[in-house]
Every structure is written in C-alpha cells, then in structure tokens.
Structure 1
Amino acid sequence: MPSPHIGLARRIFARLGFLLGLCLALSSGCTPGTEITKDREPRVSPTTSTLPIPTSASSPSGSLSATFPVTTPPRLPSAKTTSAPHPSRVASPTVTKAMSPVVYETSLSLMTYDYQSALLPTTPDDPVYPYPRLDHNKVGPPSPRTYRALVLENRYLQLTILPELGGRLYRWVDKASGHNLFYSNPVLKPTHWGIRGWWLATGGMEWALPLDEHGLSEATPWHYTIERHPDRVSVSLRDVEEHSGLVCTITVQLDDQHSYFTLIPQITNPTRDPVRYKFWINGMFSLGSPQAEAGLQFILPVDRVMVHSSGDKDLPGPGKLMTWPEFRGRDMSRASNWQKYLGVFAYPAITADFMGAYNHQTHLGVVRVFPHPITRGAKIFSLGDIPAAVWTDDESRYFELWAGLAPTFWDEVTLAPGQTVSWQEYWYSVNHTGGFTYANEQAALNLALSSTTVEVAAAVTSALEGPMRLWHNGRVTASWNVSLTPGQAFRRTLEIAPAQSAGVWKLELRDDRGRQIAMFREEIGRTTRWNAR
C-alpha cells in the first residue's frame, strides 16, 4: 500500500496527464461526449453525467428507448452419413439486411437500490481510498433510475454501453438468435462481494483496476468519446483510476464486415513512479438462459487449473492445482458437475489465444480471441449453490469469464513511469456448433469424437466460401464446399466403426483462394491447437 503522499502525487500527475490527453484530443477534434465523423468535424453531444436523462414515457423499465428488429433464422439440422460424403455446397442465408455500422446515444431505465445514500467516505489509510465503502444497513429500496446508454450496432450484433456505471458493456444482442448473451441484472443491488466490501452485480462486461475482485471503479462514471466512419464505429471509455493514478482507456469497435466486436484496452502510467497493479476484464454471461449454468460448458484449453475459491470440499483448496477438464472422474468443464461455487485460473497461465463457453441447451456460445503472451490470465467462475437473492431480486443466474494481464488474482504486473500497455482482442458468438475446440478471429471449429461418431462444425465472423476437410491419419475422410455467413453454422456428424476412432484427426477450413483460415488437430490422448494460416 503506497503512502498517502505518494498516492496524492500519483493522482495529481494522473490528472495532469489526463488534461494533457484532453488537449491532444481537442487538437484532433475529439472531446469527451462528442462524436467524430468521417470529415473529422465534431458534433457536440452531452458529456458523461450522473444526472438522470429523460426517457420516453412509453419505454418499459429496463429497455432501451429505441429498439431494432432482429431476425431469427431457422436452425440448420445436423445430417448423418454412413460414409464420407461427396463435396456439396451448403448455403447460409444472410442474417439480416446489410447495414452500415451505427452508434447513437439513448437512455436506459433500471431498477436501482438506493445505495448512494449509504456510501461511506474513506481516509488515506484505507486500502481502497479514495473510493467509498458502504453501510449495507442503510441501503434504501429500489426505484427506477435512468442511465445514459451508448448503442453500437451492425448487421450482426447490437452492443449497449453504460458510461455512468464504470463504462461497462451492458448488453450484447446476437441478431442471429435474438438473445442477449450477457447477463443483464434487472435490478442494481449491492452485494457484499468485492475489495471495497460492496459490488454491483450489474452484469455485462466490466473493467477491474487496479486491484482484483472487481476493482474499484466499476460503479463510477467514465468519460467517453464516439467516432463514426463509413466502415466502422467506436466508443472509447476513459477513466483516471484515483487509487493508482493509472489512466485506463477501453475502446469498443464494430465494423461493417464482421460479427465480432473489437476490444482495445490501454493502460498508461502518467506518474513519476512505477505502479504495481492488477487489471482484469470480467464478462458476466447468461447465453440466452435465465438459468445460465444449465447446459453450460466452459472452453478453457489447458490441462491444469489453479483453484481460486470453492465451496466444494471434494476439490483442492485455494492456490492448489487440479487437472482439467477431468478431475477424479468428473468433467469439470460442465457446470452441471459443479456441486458448489467454483473459480479456477488457467495454470501456470493461458497458453492458447482463445477461450469461451457454450450452452448446449440454448445452442449459443461466446468466443474470446486474444494475444496470450500479453494477457496471461484466464479465469472461469460459476455460482453453484449461491442463492440468487445475494445479487438480484429474481432467480436469474450468470457465470463469469475473466481475462487478466497477470496469471492469477495473487499476481501483479508493473507499469514504469510514462509506460503504456495495450492490446486488441475479439469477442463473437457461435450458434448451433455443439461447442468449439479451436478459435481465431476468423472462425471457430468444433471436432468432437466418440467411439462411433465424428462431429464437425464451423462458424465464421465474416462471409466465407471454400473447402472444409476432415482428415484421419493423413487421408481426407470427408470434404465439403461451404458458403458461410456469421450466425449460420456448418455442422455434420459422421458415423464410424469403433476401430476407426484411433489415430490423428484434423479439421481444416480454407477460403476460395486456398488460404488456411483455421485448423484443429487431435490425437487420441493428445491435443494440439494452433492457427496455421
């Protein structure tokens, strides 16, 4: 814990750095609460504020004042064949009518407990200073409150950002299914979790800095800027974290060709001292189900994990290791096999460039693609037996996907004076793939083997035509010419004799120019994953 004087100096230098950033932004025509058009002429819109924003009287509580229709295409059936089929073209209709990406401001009404009147100021000797703590006994009942909302949308997805609540991504509507992939709590209710002794389980995706367990600024307003271009739109959220003095910027971008959203975190140390800190992205998901754990499978491409916390006495304790995905005969990738709450980290760090989850009941999945040498931390968490009344007033549930710079919550990273760390990652949905065993920013593949069947699937993030081939022991077993668009998975099941399952299997997807888009290879008892474009 730095001394109060060092902390004060850091905050002063951080503010100076922030003002310098504003000056630079002004010189380029970009200011908080403004939008930038293709001709670089700023259009002024209201800056971020904690004041309520009037909404239409016809807008229901918890819904945007502006809505857009989404289409739900029919599910593609899984065909079975007894032998390798001849190449065939599988057409995939467009998810929605073509549209340029758009971004606009609106408002969102949410039932909110009166926690602000129960906030307690802290002193410099408090580890969370200058952020407030909370007297839970003085929290008032919920009532409707209006929040500013920023909406980004293209033909495949719609995102909603709440800048007043930590700049979080609150909704992610997948237009192919019509579902919100995030968990969006219908009521903002302070829990006893978090490093401050309270945390709003708002839902969506939050940015935890500079400490673990949800950080310190997930409930404070963030500045934002909007940019518009013919082929892409973006919102940049910016906060001077007052405990460490670090400046955090999160840019969310949509383009006109892809079903993913691009996430660009950037953390800068404008102070004169090195800063040790933690940074984690926390995504809270439901994948279209109010009972998010039913049918849930975690995709974490490691063979060992470290336990963070658990209520299951049959599992190792905090800081201990366990095999993954199977541990003592239990498939721990399936949330249905979790008897209690559980959180685990990839150990010793994540070594692949993807992770995610898939719900086998809603047939929806979420994929995260990222540079693992930079973001080495990957954590999953599910609530298990914790009652929903802890965080909400209905029975809705969620699970969490965490992504951090350090491997675990117990580790830190250091940012030198004037240093910046930044990276780019991609998040997208998959539908009716049965899961995925490999993913990159262009496609997700699934190769599932049993003693009598081989199931293959592919989902893409932009329109693609080309061959997809299944190999067994160096020979092509099946081949298809596929025409794919986002939201429409290619999926087939082949029947095989039990003796044929042994050996090396490979699934690859190429484009119509022969370039390899994605490839997954599995050997019985051994699996490797890579992108060999």
Structure 2
Amino acid sequence: MSSLTFAKWKLPGADLHGESSLPPIAGMINVQQQTKTMLDEDDGLFVGYGFVGSPFPYRLQDMYDRELKDTEMLTAVLENDHLKAVFIPSLGGRLWSLIDKDKGRELTFSNPVFRPGNLAFRNAWFSGGVEWNCGVVGHHPYTCSPLFTAKLTADDGTPVLRMYEFERIRRAVYQMDFFLPDQSKLLFCRMRIVNPNTEVVPMYWWSNIAVPEIKDGRIVMSTNETYTNRGGMISKTTVPVSNGIDITYPVNNPHAIDFFWKVSDQARKYVCQLNGEGYGLIQTSTSRLKGRKLFVWGQGPGGEKWQEFLSADGTGGKYAEIQAGLARTQYECLPMPPKTAWEWMEAYGAMNAKGSNVHGDWEIAKREVEEKLNHMISEQDLESLLVKTKETIALKPAEELIVTGSGWGALENLRREA
C-alpha cells in the first residue's frame, strides 16, 4: 500500500534565528551571472536573461549560527513497498531522503545534520537531498523557508503530497504534487508553474539532486557535449573525455566546476549516478525539463572544507550534484509567456544496470542506461502520465492544509483586485 504520513523528526541542527531586519539593497555576487561566451550561433542560450541584482523584496536569512542541537522538524513521508521519500516542508519542501527499500539503501546524499552556509539567494543554504529551485537564478528564496503543504487523493486513490508558494520577484505561483503509487519503483513529482501576469516574465527552474561522492560513481546522460565555464568564458567541450580527463566520473575533476550537458531536444531526458555494479539513483522527466547538469566541489582542500562545513564535524559530507532544469544552463532564464502554465513530470528511483556496460564505452553506457530506464518507464508513458494527472491531481483542490506558507500570494490577490 502507498501511504502519506506526517510526523515530527529530530536531528542535530543549527538555528536560523529568523530573518535580517534590514532590506538587502547592497546587491549581491552570483557566480552564475557570467556573460562572456564562446558559443556557436545555433546554441541559442538566453545568457544573461533574467538576472536580478538583489534579493529584494525578500529579507536575508543571515542570522544563523553553527551550533548543532536537537532540532524538531515536521516531515511528510510518502512510502510504499519499494521506496520511502522523506520531505521537510519547512525547508523549501526539500526531499531529505529517498530510500530504496528493496536493498535498504539511501539513494541521495542525506545530510545527517541541518547546517546552513552562505550559498543561497537569501544567504542560508544547506546541502543534501533534492532541492526545488524556482523563479530566479540560484538557490531559491524559499530554500530555508516553509511552503504551503497539503494533502489530497488522486482519482485512483493514490495519496498526494502538495507543496506550493507565490514567488514574489516573478509574481508567479509554483505547485509541486508528489505521489508514489502502489508497487511503483519510481517517485513521481508533478510540477506546475503559473505566470498569471499580463507580461512575459523570466523563469528559472532547477531540481538539484545531491548524491554521495563515490570513487566508482559515473554520471550518465544522453549527450556527447557539455557547456562549462573555464577561464571566465562559457564554452563547450566534449563528453566523456575533456582535456584528457573522463569528466563523467565526479572524482576525476580536480576543481569545483559545473557541466551543463547539452542534451538534444530529441533525446531521452535523464541523469543518473551509478556505481561500479551499475546501481544508483536515476532521475528522468518529460521533455519540458531539458537541461541536465553535474556540479562537483573538486578534490582540493577548498571544496573539501566547504562540504565538511555544511555537514557534521568529522563526517566529510562529500557529495556531487546531478541536476535537471528548464533551460540548458544556469546562466539564463527562459521567457515565460503571460497567462501561461508550464508543467512537467519528474521521476526518481533506483537503477540496476550492468556495471561493465555502464563503465565501459560511452555509447554502450548510454544505451545500457536508456534500455534499463525504458523498462522502468517509457518516455511515452511518462508524457501520458503528465497529461492524465492534470485533471486527476494538479487541478484538484487540496483536502487538508497541513503547513501554512508565507501569505504573500493572498496579499497579491487583494492587490490585483483593488
């Protein structure tokens, strides 16, 4: 049976101590606001579009400390016979943990503590799990804030976890519906962004998935080319080998770097990290979510220090991030038409592939993963599920509100009616 439960959970955590009392008018530095490029005329990236210079009207979350003490948080847990997904509504809806019950293994890097650092749009950010970033470039405004959280039931009886909020800079609404059908080996995440405005707005979305850094882990996705930033210039390089290094193995990359895999419009949209045995987490989506990325901290002392700084003392906290986004890179937003809804479906689960194929020739590795993924769920079936659940899930009203969000959306509705 599939279930949705809410329960208090204790873990070692630092205190956010609320928000700054001062408006953030001094501007900010964002490493992704890079506009120098060496690209081809058919790449078609919206480089520089949608950047903002300040978190205003949000206030900074820069009052936190580093002292770890017993902290109680509300969790929302979706569970069936194969998977257990644990969400934290008060922390931007973060998917904190995804457990493969068949093997008793955690699929994400699930941080043993909550310990923020200065890495997000409003300063406070923490590592681990799956983060849902909407609106503006960077770790989103609600990453350390509560989302409206509710529950409902799909037409077929499947319990649904809903989280939503109003993004104040874009003046847009995003809604996330999570469900785990009986006997499903995939967690489904049905996403919806609505631009209710009468003008085009720049829109950004990236799902950031932390996976443990492992020596034999390989990232597989459908591409032979990637965008990256080297020497202050956005350019392209080859996959899997670039400058003599197989960059699809996170541990091979000596320095912190982003790789935005150039996945063609016709290719299957997925990304995974698989170990030497061919086992690990895979994420796939419908076609709207066309971007895929790898971020690594590198193997130097700076990257290692940051990862340890964000986790429990002495644990290392080492991870890599595989990501999925609306645009091809994070140097851009996409123009979202007025009075429009953008929707897509994501799916997360455990892949069991043949290790020798995954870690052999690149074309064989891609073919192995895609064949196994098609057995889990075909591209057409995922697209059909997106269409089917618009009426049976996305447009259905919630049955019970569990957590209250910011309330700025209600104020915006009153403003528009005035």
Q: Same fold (TM over 0.5)?
A: yes
1:179 maps to a residue whose letter is R
Aligned counterpart, 1:89: none
Given that 1:316 and 1:322 are in contact with CA atoms closer than 8 Å, whether structure 2 keeps it comes out as no
Given that 1:149 and 1:162 are in contact with CA atoms closer than 8 Å, whether structure 2 keeps it comes out as yes
Given that 1:103 and 1:228 are in contact with CA atoms closer than 8 Å, whether structure 2 keeps it comes out as no
Aligned counterpart, 2:333: 412
2:89 and 2:119 map into 1 onto residues whose CA distance is: 22
TM-score (normalizing by structure 2): 0.73
1:149 and 1:459 map into 2 onto residues whose CA distance is: 35
Aligned counterpart, 2:235: 320
Residues 1:156 and 2:82 aligned together: yes
Query: 1:145/1:339 Cα in 2 relative to 1: closer, same or farther (>3 Å)?
Result: same
Which residue of 309, 334, 342 maps to 2:257?
342
2:256 and 2:325 map into 1 onto residues whose CA distance is: 21
1:107 and 1:362 map into 2 onto residues whose CA distance is: 36
Aligned counterpart, 2:107: 181
Residues 1:371 and 2:286 aligned together: yes
Aligned counterpart, 2:271: 356
1:155 and 1:350 map into 2 onto residues whose CA distance is: 35
Matches within 5 A, 1:301-316: 301-308=222-229
Following TM superposition, by how much is the alpha carbon of 1:277 offset from its aligned partner in structure 2, in angstroms? 2.2
Query: 1:322/1:362 Cα in 2 relative to 1: closer, same or farther (>3 Å)?
Result: same
Following TM superposition, by how much is the alpha carbon of 1:222 offset from its aligned partner in structure 2, in angstroms? 0.7
1:460 and 1:323 map into 2 onto residues whose CA distance is: 25
SS at match of 2:322: strand
1:150 and 1:135 map into 2 onto residues whose CA distance is: 27
Deviations 1:68-109 (A, max 9, x none): xxxxxxxxxxxxxxxxxxxxxxxxxxxxxxxx1111111211
Which residue of 5, 10, 14 maps to 1:113?
14
Aligned counterpart, 1:167: 93
Residues 1:243 and 2:169 aligned together: yes
Given that 1:161 and 1:171 are in contact with CA atoms closer than 8 Å, whether structure 2 keeps it comes out as yes
Aligned counterpart, 1:285: 211
1:193 and 1:384 map into 2 onto residues whose CA distance is: 17
Normalized per residue, the structure richer in helix is: 2
2:176 maps to a residue whose letter is I
Aligned counterpart, 1:289: none
Aligned counterpart, 2:348: 427
1:164 and 1:135 map into 2 onto residues whose CA distance is: 17
Residues 1:103 and 2:4 aligned together: yes
SS at match of 2:324: strand
**Matched positions, count:** 342
SS at match of 1:375: coil
2:332 and 2:117 map into 1 onto residues whose CA distance is: 25
Following TM superposition, by how much is the alpha carbon of 1:117 offset from its aligned partner in structure 2, in angstroms? 4.7
Following TM superposition, by how much is the alpha carbon of 1:114 offset from its aligned partner in structure 2, in angstroms? 2.0
Aligned counterpart, 2:55: 128
Following TM superposition, by how much is the alpha carbon of 1:350 offset from its aligned partner in structure 2, in angstroms? 6.2
Which residue of 210, 215, 225 maps to 2:150?
225
SS at match of 1:213: coil
1:461 and 1:303 map into 2 onto residues whose CA distance is: 19
Following TM superposition, by how much is the alpha carbon of 1:228 offset from its aligned partner in structure 2, in angstroms? 3.7
Query: 1:284/1:121 Cα in 2 relative to 1: closer, same or farther (>3 Å)?
Result: farther
Following TM superposition, by how much is the alpha carbon of 1:197 offset from its aligned partner in structure 2, in angstroms? 3.5
Deviations 1:20-59 (A, max 9, x none): xxxxxxxxxxxxxxxxxxxxxxxxxxxxxxxxxxxxxxxx
1:414 and 1:389 map into 2 onto residues whose CA distance is: 38
Aligned counterpart, 1:96: none
Aligned counterpart, 2:389: none
Following TM superposition, by how much is the alpha carbon of 1:361 offset from its aligned partner in structure 2, in angstroms? 4.7
SS at match of 1:187: coil
1:267 and 1:307 map into 2 onto residues whose CA distance is: 27
2:141 and 2:182 map into 1 onto residues whose CA distance is: 35
SS at match of 1:164: helix
2:283 and 2:201 map into 1 onto residues whose CA distance is: 28
Matches within 5 A, 1:473-492: none
Aligned counterpart, 2:215: 294
Deviations 1:506-533 (A, max 9, x none): xxx99xxxxx99xxxxxxxxxxxxxxxx
> Which structure is larger by alpha-carbon Rg, 1 or 2?
1
Aligned counterpart, 2:311: 392
Query: 1:259/1:351 Cα in 2 relative to 1: closer, same or farther (>3 Å)?
Result: same
Following TM superposition, by how much is the alpha carbon of 1:130 offset from its aligned partner in structure 2, in angstroms? 2.6
2:181 and 2:257 map into 1 onto residues whose CA distance is: 36
Given that 2:226 and 2:261 are in contact with CA atoms closer than 8 Å, whether structure 1 keeps it comes out as yes
TM-score (normalizing by structure 1): 0.58
2:283 maps to a residue whose letter is R
Measured on the aligned residues, the alpha-carbon RMSD in Å equals 3.1
Query: 1:125/1:447 Cα in 2 relative to 1: closer, same or farther (>3 Å)?
Result: closer
2:245 maps to a residue whose letter is R
Aligned counterpart, 2:133: 208
Which deviates more, 211-220 or 226-235?
Answer: 226-235
Structure 2: runs of 5+ lacking an equivalent = 28-53, 382-418
Which residue of 243, 248, 260 maps to 2:186?
260
1:376 maps to a residue whose letter is K
2:12 maps to a residue whose letter is M
Following TM superposition, by how much is the alpha carbon of 1:123 offset from its aligned partner in structure 2, in angstroms? 5.0
2:89 and 2:340 map into 1 onto residues whose CA distance is: 26
Following TM superposition, by how much is the alpha carbon of 1:375 offset from its aligned partner in structure 2, in angstroms? 1.6
Given that 1:261 and 1:426 are in contact with CA atoms closer than 8 Å, whether structure 2 keeps it comes out as yes
2:326 maps to a residue whose letter is L
1:133 maps to a residue whose letter is L
Query: 1:307/1:122 Cα in 2 relative to 1: closer, same or farther (>3 Å)?
Result: same
Deviations 1:315-369 (A, max 9, x none): 6654121111111332111123211222111237665223323342575222222
Given that 2:94 and 2:131 are in contact with CA atoms closer than 8 Å, whether structure 1 keeps it comes out as yes
1:235 and 1:144 map into 2 onto residues whose CA distance is: 26
Given that 2:250 and 2:320 are in contact with CA atoms closer than 8 Å, whether structure 1 keeps it comes out as no
Aligned counterpart, 1:480: none
SS at match of 1:427: strand
2:61 and 2:152 map into 1 onto residues whose CA distance is: 37
2:24 and 2:370 map into 1 onto residues whose CA distance is: 54
